[in-house]
Amino acid sequence: MTKITIKALENGPNLVIVDSETKAALCRCGASNKKPHCDGTHSKINFKAESSEVNI
């Protein structure tokens, strides 16, 4: 069975992890120039958010 995890990193993007392999880093700060993907802009704008994790 495939294991899917969505992990919101503290002050960073949402990681989509499939069977222990990171498949995508998705923007959650709203400022990325590569939406829906993260381009690291969260660091430049001082984005703050708590971490969390969902396992599917």
**Cβ atoms of residues 27 and 37 within 8 Å:** yes
How many domains is the chain partitioned into structurally? Answer: 1
What lies within 8 Å, CB to CB, of 43 at 6+ separation is: none
Residue 18 lies in a domain: yes
pTM of the model: 0.93
Domain hosting residue 35, numbered range: 4-50
Chain segment 8-42, per-residue pLDDT in tens:
999 999 999 999 999 999 999 999 999 999 999 99
User: 26 in a domain, yes or no?
Assistant: yes
Supply the pLDDT for residue 21.
98
- The CATH number of whichever domain residue 30 belongs to comes to 3.40.5.90
pLDDT of residue 30: 98
